[in-house]
Structure 1
Amino acid sequence: MRSKLFVPGSRPELFGKALTSAADSLSFDLEDAVAEPRKDEARGLLRDFLLSDAPRAHTKTVIVRVNAMDTPHFAQDVAEVVRAGVHLINLPKPESPGHVVIAAHAVADAARANGVTQVPGLLLNMETPKSLRTGAALAMAHPSVKGLQLGLGDLFEPYGIHRREPSAIAQALFAVRMAAAEADVWAYDGAFANIKDVEGFRAECELSRRMGFLGKTCIHPSQIAIANEVFQPSQKEIDDALKVVEAARNADQNAVGAYVVDGKMIDRPFVLRAEAIVQSALAMGLITSK
């Protein structure tokens, strides 16, 4: 899921176009992208689309961002959009493990009511100071949590932190990645609002990838190609990883603990990283075998 394209739930003319885009996943948004007077309308439009054959005719990961649990829209959002072919429910602003458990039960109940056999997982937004501080506990609150997603606009702007402050971005990325690592879920980066700042978007993608994030949210189709490029392993990374995996295989056969590959001392942590790169390359079709 290198790229995730946001699609406003109130813009049905964009639904089909999004399906044919190069994004790995789509996030149909019922929250910030939909004005309050249009919430009910957007929910109905999205429900009808999800009930059609179109989403299931594609291989993209389908995500729905519902409204937060403290709004009057959350319960109805979940009841209407948990449908076959929806993989993840994106939960804004979870504030406690108890909230996560309640949300997970609501999704499971909706799945049963709607005859959905594959219950969608939860993608939790880390966009408040409390969620950033308690990210690991939130992620471990229920087995349905699959990942944590950073939201820098909501996290920074209300407190006078500039959205583009490099030191703040790096600290927030690191905190979310460590929380995700502790909970053994994946970390996903949020949106970059300045569509015209191509280099800024690329730089933020590159930083989050170096921080171990899986991919980045795109608010415009023009950002998709950059995210797809940055969040896939380069040929050099693949070649180096294959060398490490092969050296590890030989070392295991000869009961060797640490060893050198291309002048670098290698032990178990580096092998795990190399194996992850190889698995990603296999999943993306960049290589056909180890």
Structure 2
Amino acid sequence: MIDSGKEDLQQEIELPYRLGGLLYTPALNETIAQKIIEHRIPCLTSLVFCLEDSIMDHALDEAENRLRCTLQKISESGNNSLPLLFVRVRTPNQLRRLHREFGSLANLLTGYVFPKFDTTNAADYLDLLAEINAASSHKVYGMPILESRAIADSRTRGKELTNLRQELMAMKNCILNVRVGGNDFCNLFGLRRSFRQNIYEIGVVRDILIDIVNQFSDVFVVSGPVWEYFGASEDERWEPGLRRELELDRLNGFIGKTVIHPSQLPVVYESMKPSQADYEDACNILGWRSEMLGVAKSRDTGRMNEVKCHKNWARKIKILGDIYGAKAEAFGDVK
């Protein structure tokens, strides 16, 4: 007999990893509903309807109306095989009003994205998230985006991140993951990477990202920054740069990525797959059988596995392999 409680818990543990590439689309997009319903976007696992930076201020009312029409169309389709859907709002007040106006349409949403999340608005967003969940028939998740000046500035970053961690820990069961605004950080310093470069080559931004991982990744899944280059062809010159940045994302503790064009999704989806060697080692570590030894060779005898040192890594790899499958590459190398 299947223990439904354990199954539900496992699904909740896996959910932050299922976002994969989180595709952003402006809420004004008039064609996105049909594309979602007809599964016309390959490798689409999650999507955000954006009401923030992608919408000009004077077009906000129209964008909200369009979003309601989009959700209504998706609801009327009766399609139960949907990606995880989110709305990126501008302020807590807008979130409160929209969630109320959505009514039953809010049941289509996995949650909301909180932009420019810092200590000036964290309590308002999180208190509201608690209120929404208290009145909701299903769990509603929040995803804060860390991208403000107080986090970018090395003089205030440490205190800011520590305070934000305390705020998020109080609501950790409703925080799906922590996201970072790579382009916002770059903009604060007047910087931009080319398609040949990756964000870790921008030293001042790399330091911010690493501090965020240091502060949050022991409890939360932290998602990688957006890659702003895209194209329709498989041999486009931007792909090697994205693959390299995804490799460095994983190496530094980020899982998943913000995506701004459907052509990026297959690359991100493939990057979510651990190597077969990693997956097998992860399974062996989590199912450790020796009562005496805490160290052993990997299955292909090419490296050492140590149960005490590698268990946290193994848990992540096992989850990713179970969701996305594994690929036949040695020790997580990217080709």
User: Could you say which residue in structure 2 is the equivalent of 1:147?
Assistant: 177
- Mark the runs of 5 or more structure 1 residues left unpaired by the alignment: none
Asked if the contact 1:4–1:24 (Cα under 8 Å) also holds between the matched residues in 2, the reply is yes
- Is residue 2:259 matched to residue 1:238? no
Asked if the contact 2:116–2:148 (Cα under 8 Å) also holds between the matched residues in 1, the reply is yes
User: Could you say which residue in structure 1 is the equivalent of 2:8?
Assistant: none
> How many Å separate the matches in 2 of 1:55 and 1:107?
27
Q: 1:152 Cα shift? A: 1.1
Asked if the contact 2:27–2:51 (Cα under 8 Å) also holds between the matched residues in 1, the reply is yes
User: Could you say which residue in structure 1 is the equivalent of 2:260?
Assistant: 219
> How many Å separate the matches in 2 of 1:109 and 1:117?
12
Out of 170, 186, 190, the position equivalent to 1:160 is 190
* Range 42-51 or range 214-223, more displaced: 42-51
| 256 and 178 in structure 1: CA distance in 2 versus 1, 3 angstrom threshold | same
Q: Note the alpha carbon deviations across 1:62-105, whole angstroms, 9 max, x for none.
A: 11111134xx7454344445710211210001221x73232133
Asked if the contact 2:132–2:140 (Cα under 8 Å) also holds between the matched residues in 1, the reply is no
- Is residue 2:226 matched to residue 1:188? no
| 145 and 275 in structure 1: CA distance in 2 versus 1, 3 angstrom threshold | closer
User: Could you say which residue in structure 1 is the equivalent of 2:84?
Assistant: 61
User: Could you say which residue in structure 2 is the equivalent of 1:92?
Assistant: 115
- Is residue 2:241 matched to residue 1:200? yes
User: Could you say which residue in structure 2 is the equivalent of 1:173?
Assistant: 209
Q: 1:112 Cα shift? A: 6.5
User: Could you say which residue in structure 1 is the equivalent of 2:166?
Assistant: 137
> How many Å separate the matches in 2 of 1:111 and 1:43?
22
User: Could you say which residue in structure 2 is the equivalent of 1:277?
Assistant: 317
Q: Percent identity?
A: 21
User: Could you say which residue in structure 2 is the equivalent of 1:119?
Assistant: 139
Amino acid at match of 2:215: A
2:280 alignment partner, SS class: helix
- Is residue 2:58 matched to residue 1:12? no
Q: 1:283 Cα shift? A: 2.8
* Range 76-85 or range 122-131, more displaced: 76-85
Judging by fraction of residues, say which structure has more strand: 1
Asked if the contact 2:256–2:272 (Cα under 8 Å) also holds between the matched residues in 1, the reply is yes
* Range 256-265 or range 27-36, more displaced: 256-265
User: Could you say which residue in structure 2 is the equivalent of 1:250?
Assistant: 289
> How many Å separate the matches in 2 of 1:286 and 1:168?
34
> How many Å separate the matches in 1 of 2:246 and 2:145?
18
Aligned pairs (5 A) from 1:73-112: 73-81=94-102, 83-96=106-119, 99-110=121-132
User: Could you say which residue in structure 2 is the equivalent of 1:35?
Assistant: 56
Q: Note the alpha carbon deviations across 1:33-69, whole angstroms, 9 max, x for none.
A: 1111111121122123324244852241111111134
Asked if the contact 2:178–2:221 (Cα under 8 Å) also holds between the matched residues in 1, the reply is yes
Q: 1:260 Cα shift? A: 4.3
Asked if the contact 2:274–2:325 (Cα under 8 Å) also holds between the matched residues in 1, the reply is no
Q: CA RMSD in A?
A: 2.7
2:241 alignment partner, SS class: helix
Asked if the contact 2:297–2:304 (Cα under 8 Å) also holds between the matched residues in 1, the reply is yes
> How many Å separate the matches in 1 of 2:221 and 2:78?
24
Q: 1:123 Cα shift? A: 0.4
> How many Å separate the matches in 2 of 1:265 and 1:108?
42
User: Could you say which residue in structure 2 is the equivalent of 1:24?
Assistant: 45
Q: 1:193 Cα shift? A: 1.5
1:146 alignment partner, SS class: coil
2:109 alignment partner, SS class: coil
> Could you state the TM-score of these two structures normalised by the residue count of structure 1?
0.83
Asked if the contact 1:26–1:60 (Cα under 8 Å) also holds between the matched residues in 2, the reply is yes
Asked if the contact 1:124–1:139 (Cα under 8 Å) also holds between the matched residues in 2, the reply is no
* Range 78-87 or range 2-11, more displaced: 78-87
Asked if the contact 2:146–2:181 (Cα under 8 Å) also holds between the matched residues in 1, the reply is yes
Amino acid at match of 1:11: N
Asked if the contact 1:101–1:142 (Cα under 8 Å) also holds between the matched residues in 2, the reply is no
1:5 alignment partner, SS class: strand
- Mark the runs of 5 or more structure 2 residues left unpaired by the alignment: 1-18, 232-237, 328-335
Q: Note the alpha carbon deviations across 1:247-289, whole angstroms, 9 max, x for none.
A: xx222xx2434444434251313133123212321233559xx
1:33 alignment partner, SS class: coil
